[in-house]
Chains A and B, each alone.
Chain A
């Protein structure tokens, strides 16, 4: 069975500050890990994913995430926040048969 825990339902940063959104997972098999972003009144959009190979994964809009097996973590970072990054972010783990188990989501708030 798979599960995902996202620490913090809301994260607030100032424009230009570092963004760090935390995700820990549990999986009985080698995981595939995903980050999705949801802008208001829209569907979820893939930011990045880890399958195998390099543990530092780069995605769209300057985001990246690092798979750390020993910590069962897949935290999402961006060096400098932009107002347009304000959205809800979901971490997910693959459970086989293409199914994904999603975390509860973290709302990122960016202030000027």
Chain B
């Protein structure tokens, strides 16, 4: 079975540009999570969805960040405009119904110059 798929794996952009990260959860999973990982702050939960509905976005750092889940098989995390401090690895994870185990994607390494 395919795991969680994220694209792109690496993104290098310039400050002020819009960045869109994509995630395809495991088929049949109904919860999806976006995390950010940095050396300084560790692993931070940004937002999570249950049945395509955003449940908690309190971890989204500011209005420049937005996330959508238009259907059960696709989610995006958008940063507009991007800033150098947004440089990090962004992970997507999904969980099956009625379970707590999260399955992580390989991550997108974002570098904002």
The chain A residues found within 8 Å of chain B, CB to CB, are 32, 34, 36, 41-46, 49, 51, 90, 94, 97-100, 102-105
Contact = CB atoms under 8 A, between A and B. Distances in A.
Nearest to B105: A43
Interface residues of B, number: 22
Do most interface residues of chain B lie in helix, strand or loop, or is the interface mixed?
A: strand
Contacts, number: 54
Contacts of A100: 45, 100, 102
A44 B42 contact: no
A32 B98 CA distance: 13
A99 B45 contact: yes
Contact of A105 (B4, B33, B43, B103): B43
A44 B50 contact: no
A95 to B, nearest CB: 9
A98 B43 contact: no
